[in-house]
Chain A
Amino acid sequence: MVSTGSDRTSRRDLLIGSGSVLLLAGCGVASDPTHRELSRLPRAARRADVKILNAALDLEYELIAAYTAGIPLLAGAGKTAAQRFLGQDLSHAGELQGLVHEAGGKSNKPQPSYDLGRPRTGTDVLRLLHSLESAMIAAYLDAIPSLSAGHVRASVASMVANEGQHVSILRAVLGLPPIPSAFVTGRE
């Protein structure tokens, strides 16, 4: 599944939605004193944070593309969940874009297309989404200790926790134990 062609228009529409989220996030950043913490960091630390946050943003874009391309193949509880999670992952992308800008960086843009394999059934799509959500969690967990500002670490942790919720629902729809471990690592 490559997220181009017929689904492209709808993904663009969604990314316009993402732009709105970014605009809102930007407003929050400008008026929120906690965010001054990041702009006060030394330039090298901010540069390092921008690199880490942009790497996470790239994964969020891929996840958004997978949801957008996969939703038409889903039905029932899987479809309802995917539609909700797509909206939440768009919010994550907006938050990451806002944090990158706050650190004085330029946020990465989505790729024109993503090679998402060849899922043919709803179950294939759910497995793909489970795999990408898990990879997102693992990447966020790797990133947290390297981020400089406390509020940025907390913000990323709040997104990891939400991705954990997504994974538990996707697992339940797939017929897997929803909470297989006391520690969410993205490798369950």
Chain B
Amino acid sequence: MQTRANRRQVIARSIAIAGAATALLPPVDTDAAVPAPRTDGQVLAGTLEVEKLVVLAYRQVLASGALGAGIQGTAAQLLQHEDEHVAALAAALRRLGAAPSVGPTNVASADKALAAHQVSTSLTNLRTERDCLQLLIDVEAVAEGAYFIAISKLRDSSSLRLSAEIMACEAQHWTALSELLHPGDLASAVPSPFVEGYP
């Protein structure tokens, strides 16, 4: 998981870059030249897209045959949670009058989406239980990061609460999976007081 300082630096850099870019632009009168702020619907659609990526990763892992029976059961339970997240976000988007996002539809597009988050694990290379657990840990961290950013941008109270409740659940998943990968290692399962996931 990314450290807090690194994450803050990323946010700080993006603000500084945006500020510098604005300073370099010639003054203009038209609103069209200024990018419109993202609506809550657009922000939530982004988190739904990530949730669909997470669901695809779990399905791929469960179909790989690489998991032992106990871990298979845990992964199936966590997938059920992810399906509930997808349903809740889709309902929230309907309430906001926004279109739901499609998300990755196949393994290749899912790998591409993971690469965009600097995740090198792949949905096509699931030979061992360890490969599977590492992939799920990575996609859970991507989800945590998506909610961390979304919560800084959302304005709608219900959407904020829903995002925080789901983010905390993803963090619990992350911890459970890390414990399976590193049994008895609490420092690996709960490494930081601040959960921010991958950017």
Contacts and interface: CB of A to CB of B under 8 A. Distances in A.
A28 B84 CA distance: 37
B156 to A, nearest CB: 8
Contact of B78 (A88, A150, A165, A179): A179
Interface in B22-59: none
A162 B169 CA distance: 10
B8 interface: yes
B193 A28 contact: no
B11 A84 contact: no
A179 B173 contact: yes
Nearest to A181: B169
Interface in A71-87: 80-81, 84-85, 87
Nearest to A36: B15
B194 A155 contact: yes
A95 interface: yes
Interface residues of B, number: 50
A134 B194 CA distance: 17
A151 B174 CA distance: 23
B193 A88 contact: yes
A105 interface: no
A165 B190 contact: yes
Given A80-B186, A168-B172, A34 B165 contact: no
Interface of A: 28, 32-34, 80-81, 84-85, 87-89, 91-92, 95, 137, 140-141, 144-145, 150-151, 153-155, 157-169, 178-179, 181-185
29 contacts: A34-B11, A80-B186, A81-B186, A85-B190, A137-B168, A140-B164, A141-B164, A144-B160, A145-B157, A150-B152, A155-B194, A157-B147, A157-B148, A157-B151, A157-B168, A158-B4, A158-B195, A162-B193, A163-B168, A164-B169, A165-B175, A165-B189, A165-B195, A179-B81, A181-B169, A182-B80, A182-B82, A183-B84, A184-B168
